[in-house]
Chain A
């Protein structure tokens, strides 16, 4: 911002505040134009879903319909995500978990028939994780779901009501964690979550 070279004998502390604020009026205008020109269109594109910040595209082996399984059939989360009450990681369903119900086709869709064929051949399902923590964060499902009694939707949003897998990984922000920790009077010391 400040185009004047910094002189050693006249440090920032030595300058009176009026003298410093004077030359900033022009750069502020340039900054505003820059902001409107760059940030506003990119924010609009983000809102329209054209640009994804901090995410990458995910393709799941099966177009899994959460709404059908959870909302309509009333299958509980731990049927497929078996370990969220006992371990840190909630777990992703193995092929045999799907085969427990889909050994024979339940409906009439082609996609389901393809899945049944795949399971009969002994194929595996390589699910991609949709919710990821950075490596310096320690998160335990057991700690939050069993001890903290937090509903899945608190962090996972409306995933139980989606009809096809989301195309992007959702990064959970630190402010979400901090907000909840402060509200429920849990420690916000760095070492509580950062490993």
Chain B
């Protein structure tokens, strides 16, 4: 069974936010109204989080890091869900069943990466966007928690295509929208169980590090960076 994960090369990332837009379109994420955004309730499954270092001053050292759901191997969010609305699947993806979610928001509190977001408002899509909604992804109602799914509907489609062609699923068959859209090719996606996959190779790099690794969540999103930002210090 595969263990899907992502590698993000921060030395290549230009913080252009193409991944954010691609995700928004792919996953039927409604554009936030001014009021929603003002209250900090805008939903984004992948965000660019500013990380600062040092004192700041006249020339602050700031870096924007794309943060999707880490799809942890030991996710804190699934353990606190009282209704089993979020579980780790056999392919390692942390799934969210919106119909089962009761909106208690324990998981949003438990997630150390704060990538889980609550639907405070009913989703509203402006007139022409309504026709462009993806049929593979549900539109989440008000009152449930949502998060990055690693575009798991694309995995199902890739499995279908591979099965129709009579071959096992290959590297590159299944890519989330963010990875596919990345203009500098800073994101890689694949199976960590396959030692020959690109992600497995990249994860062994001396530049590799994980966010909040010390918590024991075992995130499946690995970052690459050299110098003071990364594993090489």
Q: Give A contacts to B, CB under 8 Å.
A: 88, 134-136, 138, 140, 142-143, 146-147, 187-192, 194-195
- Neighbouring A residues of B127 by C-beta, 8 Å: none
- Neighbouring A residues of B155 by C-beta, 8 Å: 191
Binds A, one of B42-50, B57-65, B93-101, B184-192: B93-101
Q: A142-B160, A187-B90, A190-B89 are in contact. Are A136 and B99 (CB under 8 A)?
A: yes
Q: A134-B99, A136-B98 are in contact. Are A192 and B156 (CB under 8 A)?
A: yes
Complexed CA–CA distance, A187 and B159 (Å): 12
Choose one: B89, B137, B138, B160; the contact of A189 (CB below 8 Å): B89
Q: A136-B98, A142-B160, A189-B95 are in contact. Are A195 and B89 (CB under 8 A)?
A: no
Q: Give B contacts to A, CB under 8 Å.
A: 87, 89-91, 93, 95-99, 135-139, 149, 152-153, 155-156, 160, 163-164
A195 and B137 within 8 A (CB): yes
- Identity of the chain B residue whose Cβ is nearest the Cβ of A187 in the assembled complex: B90
B164 and A147 within 8 A (CB): yes
A143 and B89 within 8 A (CB): no
Q: A143-B160, A190-B97, A195-B153 are in contact. Are A136 and B91 (CB under 8 A)?
A: no
Complexed CA–CA distance, A187 and B99 (Å): 19
Q: A190-B87, A194-B99 are in contact. Are A147 and B160 (CB under 8 A)?
A: yes
Complexed CA–CA distance, A187 and B160 (Å): 13
Complexed CA–CA distance, A142 and B160 (Å): 9
A191 and B138 within 8 A (CB): no
A192 and B99 within 8 A (CB): no
11 further contact pairs, Cβ within 8 A, besides A134-B99, A190-B87: A135-B139, A136-B138, A142-B160, A146-B164, A147-B160, A187-B91, A189-B90, A189-B91, A190-B89, A190-B95, A194-B97
Expressed in whole angstroms, the minimum distance between the Cβ of B11 and any Cβ of chain A is: 32
A-B contact pairs, 25 of them (CB 8 A): A88-B135, A134-B99, A135-B138, A135-B139, A136-B97, A136-B99, A138-B156, A140-B156, A142-B160, A143-B156, A147-B160, A147-B163, A187-B89, A187-B90, A187-B91, A189-B87, A189-B89, A189-B90, A189-B95, A190-B87, A191-B91, A191-B93, A191-B155, A192-B156, A195-B136
